[in-house]
Amino acid sequence: MPITSVAKDPEALTLVVVADFTVPLRRLWDAYADPRQLEKFWGPPTWPATFVRHDLAHGGLSEYYMTGPDGDRSGGYWEFVAVEEGRSFEVLDGFTRDNGEPNTDMPSMRMVFEFTETDGGSRLTTTTHFNSLPELEQLLEMGMEEGMTSAMGQIDDVLADLRSFAADRATSAQLLSDTTVRISRVVRGTPEQVWAAHHDPELLRQWCYGPDGWEFTECVTSTKPGDRHRYAYAPTDGTEDQGFALVGELLETDPPHREVFLETMEGVDGPPTRNEQTLTPVDGGTLISLVVTYDSREQRDAILGTGMTDGMEVSYARLEETVLAEGRP
């Protein structure tokens, strides 16, 4: 158990939890920066968490839910009000309703996570600030302290698992729900470089053209909400294979951290997918996290069944070998 102390202060309206680890500071930070790792320990063992959004940047937002043994769900959110990359972050923490909206009938709190180096590795100090003594007592009665202790007891196994989250691991797809998939890959480059590679047509043409033997015939990117993009592809070998095009609309953008866009294949009936892409600095490069929401489970399975994940791995590997290997931009 990594927790070394728990201190409740009714006068200061705080709960301070200190935990020590035998891993480097960067490794501990990445466990909180990477939603694949965070959800393995944030919820208690009987109430595992699923993060459907995790933007570890100033002004960012995380949304998650915990699922109980009977299938019941309890949702929560973090609103990031301060982030010092690799050192600390501060969030407004609250509960959500079934529709994902903040539940104002429940208490909210401010939480500060501070990461420091120690002689034996690293330390995490989590300070929770409550709005009032009744809210502090209410949350403690709901089992907040026990929940944090139980959840923290799982983190050692996550920290020891270096292979599952290594920078050289291939692109993976994780089913979050019947209609939602998270696609993840760490690429060797900074968020700024990866962002530019996704938005500069000259750079995009160098790596995101699909399988070998194909090329862009049109590459129109979007920069502000409401802009539409169009990526058209065709084979280069002179065969009669028809090309295709992906089209969509940019909904939200926060360079170089996050963007949200709709996308569909041109000429194909059916609703577009909703894509939320987040770029997060981690050890070894930048974690690309793409959460795709489909209209139905059938649409999800049909698109994943085309080999989409393998195709993305080919493109990401090419991105590392070309644009990022040159240190561009």
* Strands (DSSP E) found in 85-225: 88-96, 109-118, 121-130, 172-175, 180-187, 214-220
Do both 82 and 217 map to the same domain?
A: no
Q: What is the pLDDT of residues 166-178, one digit of tens each?
A: 778 999 999 999 9
Local confidence band at 328 (pLDDT 50, 70, 90 cut-offs): low
**Are 110 and 234 within one domain?**
no
Give the span between the Cα atoms of 56 and 78, in whole angstroms. Answer: 9
Predicted local distance difference test score (pLDDT) of residue 329: 61
Residues 158 and 189 reside in one and the same domain: no
Tokens of 17: 């939890």
Under a CB-based contact definition with an 8 Å cutoff, are residues 65 and 180 in contact? no
- Determine, yes or no, domain membership for 167: no
H or E segment and range at residue 4: strand 3-9
Say if 24 falls within a structural domain: yes
Residue 309 in any domain: the answer is yes
Based on the fold, state whether residues 153 and 182 are members of the same structural domain.
no
In this structure, the answer to whether residues 89 and 180 fall within a common structural domain is no
Provide the pLDDT for residue 279: 97
Q: Indicate whether 298 and 204 sit together in one domain.
A: yes
Check if the beta carbon of residue 159 is closer than 8 Å to that of residue 27: yes
Residue position matching structure tokens 């994943």: 304
User: Does a cis peptide bond (omega within 30 degrees of 0) precede residue 329?
Assistant: yes
Do residues 210 and 131 both lie within one domain? no
The per-residue pLDDT for 146 is: 81
DSSP assignments along 36-50, one per residue = HHHTTTSS-TTS-EE
Integer Cα distance of 202 and 270 in angstroms = 31
Using the predicted structure, report yes or no on whether residue 73 has a pLDDT greater than 80: yes
* Residues 103, 203 within the same domain: no
| 1, pLDDT greater than 60 | no
| Runs of H (alpha helix) within the chain | 25-33, 35-38, 133-141, 144-152, 155-160, 191-199, 201-207, 297-304, 308-319
Query: pLDDT tens digits, residue range 127-150?
Result: 999 999 998 888 888 888 887 787
- Domain with residue 133: its CATH number is 3.30.530.20
Q: How far apart are CA 219 and CA 235, in angstroms?
A: 15
How many domains does one find in the chain?
Answer: 2
The residue with greater pLDDT, 243 or 28, is 28
109 and 227 both lie in a single domain: no
Residue 312 inside a domain? The answer is yes
- Which domain-ending residue is among 141, 162, 183? 162
Residue 41 banded pLDDT, cuts 50, 70, 90: very high
pLDDT at 269 over 90: no
pLDDT at 285: 95
Domain termination residue (choose one: 143, 162, 181) = 162
Q: What's the token pair of residue 113?
A: 């996570």
Residue 43 tokens read as 């919820």
Q: Look up residue 65 and give its two tokens.
A: 């839910």
Q: Which has more pLDDT, 105 or 279?
A: 279
Same domain, 119 and 183: no
Instruction: Please state the separation of Cα 128 from the chain's center in Å.
Output: 23
Say yes or no: 202 and 305 in one domain. yes
For residue 329, is it within any domain? no
Of 132, 162, 192, the domain-final residue: 162
pLDDT category at 21 given cuts 50, 70, 90 is very high
With respect to residue 216, please indicate whether it lies within any of the assigned structural domains. yes
**Residue 104, number of CB atoms within 10 A of its CB:** 10
- Give tens-digit pLDDT for 98-121: 888 999 888 899 999 999 999 999
Asked, for residue 124, whether it belongs to a domain, the answer is yes
In angstroms, how far is the first alpha carbon of the chain from the final one? 44
Q: How many CA atoms within 13 Å lie on the side-chain side of 156?
A: 10
Residue showing tokens 């120690």: 118
What Cα–Cα distance (Å) separates residue 143 from each residue in 7, 227, 245, 305?
Answer: 15, 47, 52, 43
Clarify whether residues 131 and 75 are in a common domain: yes
Q: How many CB atoms lie within 10 A of CB 136?
A: 23
d(CA 120, CA 22): 6
Tokens of 170: 């291939």
**Structural domain containing residue 256:** 172-324
